Structure 1
């Protein structure tokens, strides 16, 4: 589980900001105790704030680091594609990232400092028996390894100024390294827009369709282990269908089959194309059950369907799911259901975590004070991130109505609406 994430000098973030998953209110079922850590961790965190305050960049920073670990060895030959703060002295300072996680009860800490030309510092530590021990530490091109990890010595041979040591070391299957790297790489990001403003999916490919596939329909041969695979397939389908029905969209089932599309030809004829996998959602109305093509479904229905795979994968493996602009993709009722899935230990027994950004203040009614974070833009254009539970140095009451207090400006982080300029442009005032 993620303990905390810190970033500095990335996009709109200049000075370090930290998002912590450590619970303030530990006496509730949502807070997951971690004995070796001496703290409880939260399965949900939400970031609220006005437009252009940098909410998405908190999600983008952690996503960037995950992608960097996956790709630096293959693609960082000429330049490190980091995006420092555009103003002040951002271009002349390194970007910094820190991730702390607990894996199998042991705390790990990963630190990176880099700019476009080189990785300046990088280290991975762990805390067996609560004592900090170095797994590897790198300053420039000099790499130091923990004693007894000689199987990682090959990392030095592949290390370059623009390659993360973690990208290399994870390939040697040393559990101390590979377990941490796998935990980071298993994170999934939904809704985050790329620079062309189109929503992009970042993370392992856990498509929803495969959760509904029936192996018995596609395998005609009796293969070793096929019976177990078919049993797992049926369990997957049951879980996915239950989550689809949870949305109460009037959908009863999902049909996935091979379909040969018809293409019109010249004259009155038509030809069939190559067979393709087709997804149809079966709607119920009175006594009728009618399958409709996926393309005919509403955007909300398609979005919920596409979420099922990533959500179930996260819940099953106990991994991290990042979701930018949750309210832009889902109806508030569905957003609430998603939060409940991660809150409830019954549906989230492995400690999966959901971190999302949103403008929908109604979701504050389903969040505890230590699950809410606020962004604001400072005068220099830099993003500031603060915990609601400790707003302005004053602890927010556990019983406080968070939505009402937020909308009344109690916590700041609201748009500063000044209509003077637009009214003057419209000629309505002098």
Structure 2
């Protein structure tokens, strides 16, 4: 389970920014799950976080940074040899940023209850630093301390890692130690590597839709999965009563959704005749169920981009509901839609600690902060206050401002002509 993530010098995230799933101390929560740690302590952890903000405020860059950390862990040893230098996306509006390292750190708990912190800093041509800490008894154990600026780059306090000398000797300066160890199926470190392999899955509703449609269609061939997929299609109120699926060896299955007809009988439509919204929802169901079934951390950028607000709200409910999310799956999503802050019947769909806002400063750098830091009132309507700009995270624009700017530009253009 992911507890927190920190990053710096990644796209618009210039200074260090933090995203935390842990319920702030003293804050009540009806949605948080209790995580039992190996030292006997308990943590209250949210099942999902939503990131809201104006266009170009850096929302997607938080998802991007999480995804890039995963890619680095999985790819640095085998694939980075084909690059001229280390692939990075540093802050572009300050020339000094290219000379500085990109920073990533994840805080997570494995199935045995042991808490781990793993992170690294990437320079343009080498891994500047890398560290791994464990907390089996509540106190920090240092497993790995790598610093490229030292004469002895690798340090292994208390010699906990097996085969450490061989791994250090055969880890390239531009590759992560963790990636190198996992390549040899290291008995201790491979489980850390696999956490990244099995989490931080990135989904953007408007892209890779064909592959996700095929994945969901394949899940329809399994009777247990089929029942849940059809139920999710029906609950979205699309007028869908079921689905037909035709197996094709070596190819993606053919799907036809069944719609309620005027005579009461179900009518099947060719896939090409389904609306984009229906297809987007169908394509998202497969990855959603996979994450819920495996307890993975799912990343969805622009949740509302191609989904009706009702569909987006249904995604939130799936991760919030203990009866649907039985394995501790987590979700990080970005959205423009303030309706996700409140439930249709009144009240709050997301708690203040689950709502994260992004704003850019005058230098173009993004700040990420939770709504719980702003301290909204207990009875305050979060949607109304957010739209009014009380929390930040919305465009600084007066009504009609765009139209006035266009008229001014047109008049200036006419004068020059």
| Shared fold (TM-score, shorter chain, > 0.5) | yes
> Per the alignment, in what secondary structure is the counterpart of residue 159 of structure 2?
coil
Kept in 2: contact 1:152–1:174 (CA 8 A): no
Which of 123, 140, 164 is matched with 2:176 structurally? 164
When the two structures are aligned, how many residues end up with a matched partner? 389
Please tell me whether residue 253 in structure 1 is matched to residue 242 in structure 2: yes
Please tell me whether residue 296 in structure 1 is matched to residue 276 in structure 2: no
> Per the alignment, in what secondary structure is the counterpart of residue 394 of structure 2?
coil
Per the alignment, residue 22 of structure 1 pairs with 22
The 1:40–1:176 alpha-carbon spacing in structure 2 relative to 1, beyond 3 Å, is farther
Which of 60, 69, 74 is matched with 1:56 structurally? 60
Distance in 2 (CA, whole Å) between partners of 1:371 and 1:405 is 16
Kept in 2: contact 1:206–1:309 (CA 8 A): no
Q: How does 1:31-430 map to 2 (within 5 A)?
A: 31-36=32-37, 38-77=42-81, 78-88=84-94, 89-104=96-111, 105-140=113-148, 142-145=153-156, 147-151=159-163, 154-174=166-186, 176-186=188-198, 187-191=200-204, 199=207, 207-213=215-221, 233-258=222-247, 277-285=253-261, 286-365=263-342, 366-391=349-374, 395-417=375-397, 418-419=401-402, 421-427=405-411
| Greater mean deviation of Cα atoms: 53-62 or 85-94 | 85-94
Kept in 1: contact 2:54–2:395 (CA 8 A): yes
- Structure 2, gaps ≥5 residues long: 343-348
Q: RMSD of aligned C-alpha atoms?
A: 2.6
- Tell me by how many angstroms 1:94 deviates: 0.5
The 1:139–1:206 alpha-carbon spacing in structure 2 relative to 1, beyond 3 Å, is farther
Kept in 1: contact 2:213–2:279 (CA 8 A): no
- Structure 1, gaps ≥5 residues long: 193-197, 214-232, 261-273
| Greater mean deviation of Cα atoms: 147-156 or 39-48 | 147-156
> Per the alignment, in what secondary structure is the counterpart of residue 256 of structure 1?
strand
Q: How high is the TM-score relative to the length of structure 1?
A: 0.84
Distance in 1 (CA, whole Å) between partners of 2:324 and 2:380 is 27
The 1:259–1:212 alpha-carbon spacing in structure 2 relative to 1, beyond 3 Å, is closer
- Tell me by how many angstroms 1:80 deviates: 1.0
- Tell me by how many angstroms 1:240 deviates: 2.2
Q: How high is the TM-score relative to the length of structure 2?
A: 0.86
The 1:38–1:276 alpha-carbon spacing in structure 2 relative to 1, beyond 3 Å, is closer
Per the alignment, residue 263 of structure 1 pairs with none
Kept in 2: contact 1:29–1:345 (CA 8 A): no
Distance in 2 (CA, whole Å) between partners of 1:12 and 1:293 is 43
The 1:176–1:410 alpha-carbon spacing in structure 2 relative to 1, beyond 3 Å, is farther
Kept in 1: contact 2:234–2:240 (CA 8 A): yes
Distance in 2 (CA, whole Å) between partners of 1:207 and 1:280 is 15
| Greater mean deviation of Cα atoms: 113-122 or 396-405 | 396-405
| Greater mean deviation of Cα atoms: 27-36 or 50-59 | 27-36
- Tell me by how many angstroms 1:258 deviates: 4.7
